Amino acid sequence: MSSIPQIDDTMRERIIAQPDVILEDQDLMRALIAANERSMGGNIVDLRGIAMERLEARLDRLEDTHRSVIAAAYDNLAGTNQVHRAILRMMDPVTFEGFLTDLGGEVAEILRVDSVRLVLESVQNDEDPAVRRMGDVLSIAEPGFIEDYLAGGNGAPHRPVILRQTSEGENRIHGNKAGFIRSEACLRLDFGEGRLPGMLVLGAEDPHQFTPKQGTDLLSFFAGVFERAMRRWLS
């Protein structure tokens, strides 16, 4: 008399009618494969089972990659929309003072940064009444300051957009928020022939918001639009 338990007729009929239910259940398939290996004994190598394990591992890796690609695409789309909204807001003001006020206010909020500073090289200084009237967003520096700041003191050639982490922000750049800044994006600005360069610095308390490994395409686009807006004001 056989000691192997017989499957219930109703369950058997359901399995025959819907075999996909078993095939699509990974836990159930693993149990069936393990039972098959036990029935064959320890001296038999099941190449089909090994192949299935490798295919399953490969499928898991492909699914992880698929999820990573989708997440990256979503982040890129969200970042693109964010920059576009910031640009539209930046183009609204009809006065330069309003332009700077929005830059440190709603534009900064849209970009989700904690500090925005526009640095212009000039023979003037921060004590000039016309400069002080522009608020905390605008900072005037001596010629050559921007090159030194972008190089970070090591004399390395700079790129148009530099992302870096910092233990503490520069007081001259981030003002009273300098002690909280842990990463920054430095956007070099070209205002045209015959004009000194400028720099837009975005600072964040999050040390991972701006890192050298991140892409700079969106910020380069933002810098290009900002340059054109500033040329209009400077003219």
Residue 131 pLDDT exceeds 70:
no
Percent of the chain with pLDDT over 90: 23
Mapped onto helix, strand or coil, the DSSP state of residue 70 is helix
Q: What is the predicted pLDDT for the residue at 77?
A: 77
- The mean per-residue pLDDT over the stretch 116-131 comes to 72
Residue 1 pLDDT exceeds 50:
no
Residue 110 pLDDT exceeds 90:
yes
Where are the domains positioned within the chain? 9-59, 78-234
More confident residue, 11 or 225: 225
Residue 188 pLDDT exceeds 80:
yes
Q: Work out the mean pLDDT of the chain and round it to a whole number.
A: 80
Q: What is the predicted pLDDT for the residue at 125?
A: 60
**Pure H helices in the chain:** 9-17, 20-23, 26-40, 47-90, 96-104, 106-111, 129-132, 145-151, 171-174, 217-234
- The pTM of the full predicted model, rounded to 2 decimals, is 0.66
Least confident of 27-36, 39-48, 145-154: 39-48
Least confident of 28-42, 105-119, 164-178, 190-204: 28-42
pLDDT band at 80 (very low <50, low <70, confident <90, very high): confident
- The mean per-residue pLDDT over the stretch 33-42 comes to 66
Q: Highest mean pLDDT range out of 69-78, 82-91, 169-178?
A: 82-91
Pick the CATH number of 78-234 from 3.30.450.40, 3.30.465.10, 1.10.1670.10, 1.10.8.60: 3.30.450.40
